[in-house]
Structure 1
């Protein structure tokens, strides 16, 4: 029965030199290792000792032949399985200790426990280390020694810490690569005793060394000319000695093919900080790229959003920046069709709608029993104006506009109802209330012939209307009222039915509304950018177009300029940040590949390395973005203050007071800081993923190379 814990059968390994010549390092090696045994592989430098140790440590899989580790055939196992098998069962001791310089000895020793996600509290981890200390450092000044940094510890102290790190996780096999190479005679003997003690406690020990201090204990093998031969065996292990068995990976550890992070958050957090601070030049490059980029993006975003807010506010308070208005030509005023070009204009690609209008006056009784006159405009079905009204209660007119309804502004409510208190009244409570419009008929000599009050139901309440207007009527109602007021011979009577709040006689309504009433034509552009071309084309037809766009064109020009600069700038910033992040990770990984490989050998999963690289990038991006947003906030606020000051100075020097709020073109950074912050994080994470995955595939075999 085969009781070996390791078995190599006809294992060969060759490399290709820089000149293309094949160099065979190992030739048909056959080796069996018994559990709990002490094995020494001798050989001169260059004989292939490190190569065979890398194969035994499952760090080099480019060999031919068979490798059985316990009950597992190493040759056919996937990467995640090999990583888990190595992490659970192998402890590595390296030349000169190979400790992490940014951690003290105690933290270095604790790494395997933390990487393997043992459910130990920090106190339990410290207690485990404390229980091992007397076996390696004696009982004097243990605490002080473990707090030493590797740079201040002696060679012997570092090597003993390295041995403690190798056994802290109770691996079944200890692989030692020239563990006494840099030590003097006394310290060499101490290392040998420690390894002997580990073997007596059940660990299987394999030492690769050409140091004669190991030649008188355990099984002796010699590697020469690529062939391995057993020389002798000393001090055979006791027959009933307890040995540590192989721990096999579990199916759950195959989650995400071994890319799932495993290390404790404490280790990962320390590694993230180390990843960030250990590369100050690259960190500075990322910070500079992000601070400058985020600041520029934020300032231009402030201008673009600020101008849009300014324009939207102008639309809400009465300006119609996407509308062009024309009046009938003199020769068309007496015609039934006052705008013969209406169909032609409606066919233009940049025109969304063409609507004839009539604007007249309406007299209303206020809450103080005073009669005030307001301008009123009629609205059609599916009228584009509905999209420009900001309703605070109610909504559009009913159905076919055949009801006696009205839409009023909040300001008009204050005139009509003395119960309105700003900020306290529920506007919805006014929906359905009545508004009386006073209609006057005059004689041909200009005297009042008749006065009629018609009551309309409030259908909607809006914040503002254009040009100081306070109310809108259904267009048919509007035309009936105007025709009634123009009636000098009592041809028409209002076809009212007050009980139903609707017109009683629809035929009379149609007759009254049928007259050349269009006193203006409103042309709605599909986009605000289309207004200027429409103005030019309408002028070519002989009309004099009117538009509110002129008083806001300066803001639109600023927005256009900002967009033209912003888009290519944004592309450059994204590319710059992405390239900086990727180059940072690639270059840093190249400079620190031995350190990263050592983490892998000690049991860090590839997923842990990816996570630390990505989170380190997130930390750098977060810092750079915060500083960039802070700088942009200062620039925006200073710019707004400067514009306010300059506007005030210009107003003092001019007799005409400016109505333009130039500082409004800057939106507060707080409006979009979260969007920029998240965008920067996404760009940083995406840019870091590929190099992080490439870095995680660093060959850990390089750690054991001489």
Structure 2
């Protein structure tokens, strides 16, 4: 194969599937086209001229035989490499011009320059040269370049198509019936310009049955699938230099050729030309994003409501069991504890004792209020400690020798008579303070016969206690104090130091703590949703579980409804959004397949097609999500205002305080917007991946064969 020959065909054949089997269109064609020649291939309609031209233009690879272009075996080129070769060295003139109707003649002419990423100044010169080549000065002065294809004459359209084919100065011009349906004057104009391209060094191949070409260049006729040489002129005009061979396609043609600016601009123009597609996609995205946002806001709000309720002292995931009658006389009043501790839905079980303790006031003062306060005993590493919100200090220091307590802020306000205590109160100053207390003693008749004094040291301050608890003691201390209250013999004594602030060194407390003190069992569940089922299970075992969950059962019901009704609805909405996107893209691509095919022929890489489609879809997705978030924000704000007003009305009617946690039911939409946006993008990309890839792989030959 020599480099002087631009095209060499040997034994070329092409068959197509038909109702009765394979139909041969081209059969054993041999053809050599030297550089710089003008070749005309005649033939009647249906003879296979267009098929041959598409093969020469690297648009049809389904042929037999060998095909070499510029010394390169075309069969060795990938689809992406064929695109690069077409862009770099082949100009097409189609029978009907194939101008894009939404662009002016001037914009159609300049289209190949867009895909070539040419310098702006050079592109301007090339466009001016191509316009001067296609149109007469008086036509240019009259604004022919601004005409739409529909407003231009047939001759003007075909000359514009010819100018588009030559604007990148390709080595090969392929023209398919370039003078079809033109009047005689227009035919002469097109012929003159094609001859001018030939004289400038382009290799021109024309397939036509128009006799205006029969006296020009080398003549062939295609009959019954075979090519016959009719002779003719072999005049050759070689270009000044041979064009370099195209480089292999980057990443198989999936790397865009166009820059970011042009890709974004192209995506925006595509959207503007598809208003129905853009509108339907936006509506689907706005509706889907708004519903997902409201659902997420509600679920997060219910969780926040639950957490705040627990922080305020409620124990929604805790059950309280009292001993069964059958277990009251046993040393182990809760034999079920070990079984519960192993249950997967239970995080901890703790036996407890509650009591009251009389607090006299701050130690060292003469004032003695003598008020009883309910308290509860806590164990080392007690699960309750993890639920407290400490504002000062910490839990019990188990190695300390003094008698410690954890106090609530309400308790301190009450005992110390604090005025206007609030968020600015310095609670740390109360850590280490000591409070005087006393434990009553009773005689055999049950009458109080005295009291044991003790001094408690504040080790930590918490915002709220659970229920009506005002402070907490170490369980060992509480059990020992209750042993004194239960004693009717007067033999038990608290082994306290003389200042009553702690235990005597080496004190033996076994006589005070070794008795069946457990009067309740707290069962902590891992999940709030398991509280009611566990209550039912324990009730069947003879217990009467107590739980605060009943006051907030509506929270569980609302959350269950959200997941049971809204979640499937959201899945359906997501599916509908994905289906709308998928269908819109497929339909839109089918309507634009001629344009896409032409763009591919003119040099647009499949990566450019893919990037343009994805950028357009992501632009719509971004706009739709922002609108959806804004809509969801307005709706949740309106719902919150409505719920708040209802809560105030209910409080006024009942005389109770309004629920201050009602404003937590819907969390701010924008807090969860990033994760929702990420999930939406995943859904969108999954929905559009296949159709956009299919669009990017548009086969121009198949499209042109249909159209």
**Is TM-score (shorter-chain normalized) higher than 0.5?**
yes
Shift of 1:30: 1.1
**1:309: which partner in 2?**
304
User: CA, structure 1 residues 373+271, in 2 after alignment: closer, same or farther (shift >3 Å)?
Assistant: farther
Q: CA deviation at 1:116?
A: 3.0
Question: Relative to structure 1, is the Cα distance of residues 484 and 443 closer, same or farther in structure 2, using a 3 angstrom cutoff?
Answer: closer
The correspondence of residues 351-370 of structure 1 with structure 2, limited to 5 A, is 351-361=346-356, 363=359, 365=361
2:261 is equivalent to residue 262 of structure 1: no
Aligned with 1:672: secondary structure?
A: helix
Output aligned runs, 1:571-582, within 5 Å.
571-582=571-582
Name the SS of the counterpart of 2:102 in structure 1: coil
The SS at the match of 1:376 is: strand
**Which digits, 9 at most, give the CA deviation of each residue in 1:614-667, with x for residues without a partner?**
333323333433343333333323323333333344444445566486564333
Preserved contact between residue 11 and residue 27 of structure 2 (Cα < 8 Å):
yes
TM-score, normalising length from structure 2?
Answer: 0.87
Q: Label 1:704 to 1:527 Cα distance change in 2 as closer, same or farther (>3 A).
A: closer
In structure 2, the partner of 1:49 is: 49
* Structure 1 CA distance for aligned equivalents of residues 651 and 470 of structure 2: 31
Match status 1:164 vs 2:166: no
Deviates more, 1:674-683 or 1:339-348: 339-348
When residues 192 and 556 of structure 1 are mapped into structure 2, their CA distance, relative to the original with a 3 A threshold, is: same
CA offset at residue 205 of structure 1? 1.7
Q: TM-score, normalised by structure 1?
A: 0.87
How big is the shift at 1:463? 4.0
State the match for 1:669 in structure 2: 669
Structure 2 distance, partners of 1:413, 1:148, is: 87
How many residues get paired? 694
Distance 2:315 2:399 in 1: 25
Q: Distance in 2 between matches of 1:624 and 1:586?
A: 20
CA distance in structure 2 between the partners assigned to 1:474 and 1:494 by the alignment: 16
CA contact (8 A) 1:35 1:243 kept: no
Following superposition, the deviation at residue 131 of structure 1 comes to 4.2
Deviations 1:173-199 (A, max 9, x none): 121222222332222222222222222
User: Aligned-pair distance for 1:81?
Assistant: 1.7
Q: CA deviation at 1:603?
A: 1.3
Match for 2:246 among 242, 248, 269? 248
CA distance in 1, matches of 2:539, 2:607: 68
Aligned to 1:378: 377
Query: CA offsets per residue over residues 228-274 of structure 1, 9 Å max, x none?
Result: 22323337135x75254242224xx332x222222233443344234
Query: C-alpha distance in 2, partners of 1:336/1:417?
Result: 43
Comparing 571-580 with 313-322, greater Cα deviation is found at 571-580
The answer to whether the Cα contact below 8 Å between 1:202 and 1:244 also exists between their aligned partners in 2 is no
- What are the within-5 Å matches in structure 2 for residues 187-586 of structure 1? 187-234=186-233, 236-238=235-237, 242-250=240-248, 253-255=249-251, 257-328=252-323, 336-346=331-341, 350-361=345-356, 363=359, 365=361, 374-391=373-390, 397=396, 406-409=405-408, 433-444=431-442, 446=448, 449-458=451-460, 462-483=462-483, 489=490, 491-494=492-495, 505=505, 508-586=508-586
Within 1, Cα distance between the matches of 2:592 and 2:364? 84
- Residue 99 of structure 2 corresponds to 99
2:106, 2:360 → 1: CA distance?
Answer: 88
Q: Go from structure 1 to structure 2 and tell me whether the alpha carbon gap of 1:653 and 1:216 turns closer, same or farther (over 3 Å shift).
A: same
Contact 2:14 2:26 survives alignment (8 Å):
yes
User: What is the CA-CA distance between 1:172 and the residue it aligns to?
Assistant: 1.8
Pair 1:15 & 2:11 matched: no
SS state at 2:201 partner: coil
For residues 391 and 168 of structure 2, the distance between their equivalents in structure 1, rounded to whole angstroms, comes to 69
Structure 2 CA distance for aligned equivalents of residues 689 and 199 of structure 1: 44
Secondary structure of residue in 1 paired with 2:220: strand
Q: CA RMSD in A?
A: 3.6
The range that moved more, 590-599 or 391-400, is 391-400
Q: Give how far 1:72 is off.
A: 1.5
SS of the aligned residue for 2:300 comes to helix
CA distance in 1, matches of 2:382, 2:134: 89
SS in 2 for 1:64: strand
Structure 2 residue ranges without an equivalent (≥5): none
Q: Offset of 1:29 from its aligned partner?
A: 0.9
| Equivalent pair of 1:610/1:689 in contact (CA under 8 Å) | no
Q: How does 1:610-621 map to 2 (within 5 A)?
A: 610-621=610-621
- Distance (whole Å) between structure 1 residues aligned to residue 284 and residue 508 of structure 2: 74
Partner of 2:643: 643
Residues 509-537 of structure 1: per-residue CA shift (max 9 Å, x gap): 44433333323221222321221123233
Contact 2:405 2:456 in 1 (8 A): no
Deviations 1:659-678 (A, max 9, x none): 48656433332332333232
Structure 1 contact 218–234 (Cα < 8 Å) conserved: yes
> Aligned equivalents of 2:239 and 2:88: distance in 1?
22
C-alpha deviation, 1:423, in angstroms: 5.9
Tell me how far apart the structure 2 counterparts of residues 411 and 157 of structure 1 sit (CA, whole Å).
91
Q: SS at the partner of 1:29?
A: strand
Alpha-carbon distance between aligned partners in 2 of 1:177 and 1:615, rounded to the nearest angstrom = 35
Moved more, 286-295 or 204-213: 286-295
CA distance 1:423–1:550, change in 2 (3 Å): closer
Corresponding residue for residue 124 of structure 2: 126
2:37/2:236 contact within 8 Å kept: yes
Gaps of 5+ in 1: none
C-alpha separation in 2, matches of 1:53 and 1:408: 93
The separation in 1 between residues aligned to 2:398 and 2:123, in whole angstroms, is 77
- 1:6 aligns to what? 7
Q: Distance in 2 between matches of 1:506 and 1:159?
A: 111
SS at match of 1:111: helix
